[in-house]
Every structure is written in C-alpha cells, then in structure tokens.
Amino acid sequence: MKFIDEYQNSELATKLAQRIADRSTKPIRLMEFCGGHTHAIMRYGIRQLVPKTVEMRSGPGCPVCVTATSDLDKAIAIAHLPGVIITTFGDIIRVPGSYSSLQQAKAEGADIRVVYSIMDAVEIAKANPRKSVIFIGIGFETTAPTIAASIIKAKKEEVENFYVLSLLKLTPPVMKTLLDLGEVKLDGIVGPGHVSVIIGSYPYEFIPRNYGVACVISGFEPLDILLCIDKLVEQVESGKPQVEIAYRRGVKPQGNKKALESMNEVFEIDGADWRGIGIVPQSGLKINQKYQHFDADKAFPDLSLRAKRSNLEKEPRGCRCGDILRGVATPLECKLFGKVCTPEKPVGPCMVSSEGACAAYYQYGASYE
C-alpha cells in the first residue's frame, strides 16, 4: 500500500540504520515528543537499530497523560450533576483523578458516553434537548480544529445544550518549558508529525535559534523515524542545528491554513496545567467570548476545581508518570512498572493511555531489557 509498505522496507531500514551508525561519533540524547512516535519506536525496535551513541527519551506527547488531576476532578464533578451527559474519547475514562475516575463515576450511575468523533457529541445533544451534553476536550493542535468545527456547527444549528470543557494544549510552549527546566540535556527533538500537519514547522524555529537544539519533524513509519534520526545526528555532528521536515508528504512549513483559521475563530490562548510539569503559560486553548455559551467552564463555574499550583505532588504513591513525561526517567526506572502497574490495573495515566510511554514499554517487551 502506497505510503505504508514503502516506508516499512526492511532493506532500506537496515541501510539507514547503518548510515546513522557511520555518522554518529559522540553520544547524543534525542526526545520524541509524540506518544505515537514512542509506540512506533518501540514497536519497530528503533532503539535497538540505532547505535548505542543515540539515546531516545520519551516526552510529554500524550494528551491523556498530561491532563492535570484537577482538570479530571472537574470533569468527574460535572459528570455527577443531574441532567448531564458527558461525552469523551476512550482513554481518559480510566485515568484516575484525586478521588475517583470517569469510569467509576459511570459505574455509580453517571451518563458518560465514549464517542469516536466530537460531531457524535453534537448529535447526542440534538437527540437529548433537555440535557446538557458536555464534551471533555483533551488533545493538542491535532484535535483542536475538529473541536472548533463542532462548536461552530453547534452555534450555526442553535444547539444550545452542547458544551465543551476545553483542556486543549499547545505543543511549542511546553517544549520551551522543558528546555528551560534543563532537567534533561537534549541534543535533538523528534518533532510531532500530526501536530505539525496543523501548525507547520515555523513554530519550532526558536528551538535551534535559542537553545542550539536540533529539531526534525517525523512521520510514524519506521523509515520516517530512521530518516528523522539520521537528520538529527547529521545536525548534531555538524554543529548546525535547524528545523527540518522528514515528513514532507504530510507537513508543510506553513501548516494547514483552514485548520488554523478554525482554531483562531473559536479559541484564545491561555495558560494550561500539565501533569508532572505544572502551569505552563500560553500553552492552552480556551473558548473565546464569541463562543462563550459553549464553554463548560462558564456554564458550570461553581465546579471549577483547577489547581492554582503544580500537580507534581498529586501523583499516586510511587508513580513516576510526571518524571517520565518530562523525560527525567524511563518507565523501567519506575518501581511500579510491570508489577503493581499493568495495563489491566494501571496506576498512572502513562499506563492507561494507548499513547502512553509505559503502555508502549509494556506492550513491546522493554521490561526485559
């Protein structure tokens, strides 16, 4: 299949891996931001293919994993209100808040429905005009345009009982925060592919300019990732960091104009609370005044349980999801991993989410390294 089989060619992968080994003369540390990249890297054995001079670290690239405990608590509190239907994507259901989870709330009788498209939530609102239908809007720039489109649709069709709890987050600001924290020295960043389809490559220009760190945007097939690593190693070895696109069939430097226009129509930039990191300025999207009727934060103000400081101390006892999301630790360094914490009985969101680093390590056998 075009764009699949040709990017999974084992002969080309072997040649690329050899070229990386030939180029790489000094230890470097790379961070993949996207959880989809983490799973692809583990699934295809990329860490074993590249030379030992290249270290791969996972970053905070899973929207489910980085959702703050306080934001989950608010969603759970809203779910218990009479006359409310909560709609959301699947993984967030199982992530624990500070006292419960959406899954537990559902078991206790709350009307919580998993949808595959936010437009399904709009249809549920139409079918239940006497109830308040709230979509839990988690995601990065990839998800934001579809949520914006649903709000525009609801306004146009006068669906008055549809609301969004916007927990949307922006990628470049948290990259800046991680680099400013300096907890993990990075030589290069594997730029997120799906996010970059929307925002393009220009928003990452500050990374090589201000921090001297290489940045290459990657697709999700094994050859995509190996090509990305090859370009990163080349930049580091030459001492000439820049932003490159190794996923040109999907990403343009200017991004997707229509998607960006829909985001700008509905949202405005605000601070956001990231699990394991805390409040990151200018890293979130809230619904603007023009569409404020659809803002669950304004419709249910008495249940605003947002924390005013970092969530670093709110992890379950022994859970290192916060450290893993910042790249300070790998899942193998968590004492709960694979023992107390498994996909069947997850302790933290990194094991719950299908894009979580712990789930990837567990699924693809990294616990046996």
* Residue-level pLDDT at 365: 76
Strand 214-218, strand 188-191: pairing: parallel
| pLDDT of 369 higher than 90 | no
The CATH number for 282's domain is: 3.40.50.11740
* Residue-level pLDDT at 284: 98
Q: Are 76 and 165 contained in the same domain?
A: yes
Report the chain's mean pLDDT, rounded to a whole number: 92
Tokens read off for 23: 């180029």
Mean pLDDT calculated for residue range 345-362: 93
| pLDDT of 1 higher than 70 | no
Number of Cβ within a 10 Å radius of residue 101: 18
pLDDT bracket for residue 74 (50, 70, 90): very high
Mean pLDDT calculated for residue range 172-183: 97
pLDDT bracket for residue 166 (50, 70, 90): very high
In a domain, 346, yes or no: no
* Residue-level pLDDT at 83: 95
Q: Are 73 and 164 contained in the same domain?
A: yes
Q: Are 158 and 190 contained in the same domain?
A: no
Lowest mean pLDDT among 20-34, 156-170, 220-234, 295-309: 295-309
pLDDT bracket for residue 142 (50, 70, 90): very high
* Residue-level pLDDT at 167: 97
In a domain, 180, yes or no: yes
* Residue-level pLDDT at 307: 38
- If phi > 0 it is left, if psi is from -120 to 50 it is alpha, else beta; for residue 85 that is beta
Most confident of 175-184, 294-303, 358-367: 175-184
Q: Are 9 and 145 contained in the same domain?
A: no
Q: Are 206 and 231 contained in the same domain?
A: yes
Encode pLDDT of 284-339 as tens digits: 999 999 999 999 999 987 654 443 333 444 567 889 999 999 999 999 999 999 99
How far is 74 from 295, CA to CA, in rounded Å? Answer: 14
* Residue-level pLDDT at 367: 42
* Residue-level pLDDT at 38: 95
Q: Are 164 and 261 contained in the same domain?
A: yes
In a domain, 321, yes or no: no
Mean pLDDT calculated for residue range 9-29: 93
- Grouping H, G, I as helix, E, B as strand and the rest as coil, residue 56 is strand
Residue where a domain terminates, one of 211, 246, 281: 246
Q: Are 165 and 267 contained in the same domain?
A: yes
Number of Cβ within a 10 Å radius of residue 249: 10
How far is 64 from 69, CA to CA, in rounded Å? Answer: 11
* Residue-level pLDDT at 99: 85
* Residue-level pLDDT at 310: 38
Q: Are 241 and 190 contained in the same domain?
A: yes
Can you list the alpha helix ranges (DSSP code H) found in the chain? 10-23, 35-43, 46-49, 63-66, 69-79, 102-107, 118-127, 144-156, 171-181, 193-199, 206-211, 222-238, 257-266, 296-299, 321-325, 349-352, 357-363
Q: Are 298 and 178 contained in the same domain?
A: no
* Residue-level pLDDT at 8: 77
pLDDT bracket for residue 280 (50, 70, 90): very high
Encode pLDDT of 211-261 as tens digits: 999 999 999 999 999 999 999 999 999 999 999 999 999 999 999 999 999
In a domain, 337, yes or no: no
Residue among 332, 219, 279 nearest 66 (CA): 279
Residue among 140, 58, 22, 84 nearest 357 (CA): 58
- Grouping H, G, I as helix, E, B as strand and the rest as coil, residue 259 is helix
* Residue-level pLDDT at 313: 43
How far is 331 from 65, CA to CA, in rounded Å? Answer: 13
Domain count, the chain: 2
pLDDT bracket for residue 44 (50, 70, 90): very high
* Residue-level pLDDT at 288: 98
Residue among 197, 194, 191, 225 nearest 40 (CA): 225
Mean pLDDT calculated for residue range 167-182: 97
* Residue-level pLDDT at 9: 78
In a domain, 331, yes or no: no
How far is 245 from 202, CA to CA, in rounded Å? Answer: 11
Q: Are 150 and 235 contained in the same domain?
A: no
Mean pLDDT calculated for residue range 101-117: 95
In a domain, 306, yes or no: yes
Residue where a domain terminates, one of 225, 246, 267: 246
The CATH number for 202's domain is: 3.40.50.11750
Of the chain, the percentage scoring pLDDT greater than 90 comes to 86
In a domain, 365, yes or no: no
* Residue-level pLDDT at 315: 65
Residue where a domain terminates, one of 217, 246, 275: 246
Q: Are 160 and 88 contained in the same domain?
A: yes
In a domain, 152, yes or no: yes
Encode pLDDT of 339-353 as tens digits: 999 999 999 999 999
Q: Are 82 and 203 contained in the same domain?
A: no
User: For residue 33, what are the domain limits?
Assistant: 5-63+173-246
